[in-house]
A and B are shown apart, each in its own frame.
Chain A
């Protein structure tokens, strides 16, 4: 339980004059479920992108699943994303021309898994998000909540150790949002480390750990209330 899946050490990310993230240190252990909250422009997405290895820090160290990403090249970073990290985005990012099944199967495309096996895994992933009866629907034939569930299925189809969600309920009504949150909780219950950016205070409060960000700094981390930083 105590092996860190994510470790940020004094991480800074600047865009020219703007500093999106200023010296952030943060650790997520295996099996954690955490919310990142904060006002717009505070650096939440920047942080999540760094954790997801989609971006590199200007300074500081990012360690994911034990790998210092500064030492990894494009090929290894890509492998890390393909096998260890799953992403869920606010805008779903589904391919319009593909069925739900094939959208989910794309989640395994870059792992080198053969198509038949990808589809088999996609089918069971869609069953997990309760969309077994929608597998041949295209995104435009699905509701917003269903689309996000397809996106979650795509993120979990490769059984990633770490799931990152950037405002997964931001584009959904509250009922669909609740379903999506329930799914993410279930994933966490199965052992996945889940980190969720959310604007919704209620949602954030319902999660075991909240990390509050403002102006590129962590202003509050609920885990420090109980466990002193080690």
Chain B
């Protein structure tokens, strides 16, 4: 990430601080969750009545739910009453210097070639912002606005485009969807809102990097992307550098809505802090991501490269409602050390001739455990729908695990589902061959793994792909020896 971008994000914190001057006495609520807290959040954000009602309904529903336990991950119970659900956006406790940061994390920054100031920002060390750089973001914002693109924090969109937000919020992921989605709907504090007008192919890749106020969206982030008829957008989420965060639990919701002939490409490179070598301090990432291909011939594509988190629980999914709509899921998930991941996707085919492709590449090393869980559902109306699933696991060493659970439900005899799965180990013969050419074992491993992931990497925007490859190499260091 460039200095400029970094400065922007620092600046955005400044901004927020000033913005909240009046609320300074009440910028955090005590830990715990109840209706009053939700009313407080809503009031702080000056939200319209309907949004408060949405939050309260979600909360009431959440109370009736139990934390899911079906996923193949284990962790100590989360105390939801110990979390503080609102603090003024500058919520990360700042450290005074890099000396207070986990040395292993710093080592990783070093290897990824991240500049010092950027390292500080990521690790949560206070940095001064430079004011000039606001112009860069503004330029992008102006360009986008001129084209009719709306790209802003969702809390701002609630104020400026209430009707649009109201029309789509919760339509793809209703608050009743699952435990974490209900919680998110009740207490989300911020996130991004994107609207692409009819017929527009958005020429910029939208990334939170150049969205002002991108930082500190907190643990309950909410993203909503709407692509109107025949529009196109590519959205990038995340950052290759591991992020340290005070908040252990992250329960984001991402909703994508594609109208007729619209196309949304959503790419994520996520590298949350997995915890120290004993797995302490890592992030729990329980996110609900879903895209609705509402319109005919619409297209939604999820690409993700996940290497972080202590625990990951996510299933970016597509509901293929429009006829001839297309859903894609390309995923690389790497788990090392003590990480646990239960990921996969759901492709729900409702419309005629809908097509979906799933390519999942899982890599496990160390004592990590990884599960792929995929559901392909062919509804009654899914005439001649097709799915192709390719699910490959690679194991490094013999103390890690990989599990595959493909679920197929078909209510339409004309629909076709194809599933291929492989499990490989990095071969000694492959490493020996590389070594014989003078190549170090660690480099050999990253070549072999990189080759294994190529089908997914090529779906990523170019520079993201390069970063992802580098990230993988760094994450794999010391995994084979």
A and B from one complex: no
Chain B interfacial positions (CB closer than 8 Å to A): none
Chain A interfacial positions (CB closer than 8 Å to B): none
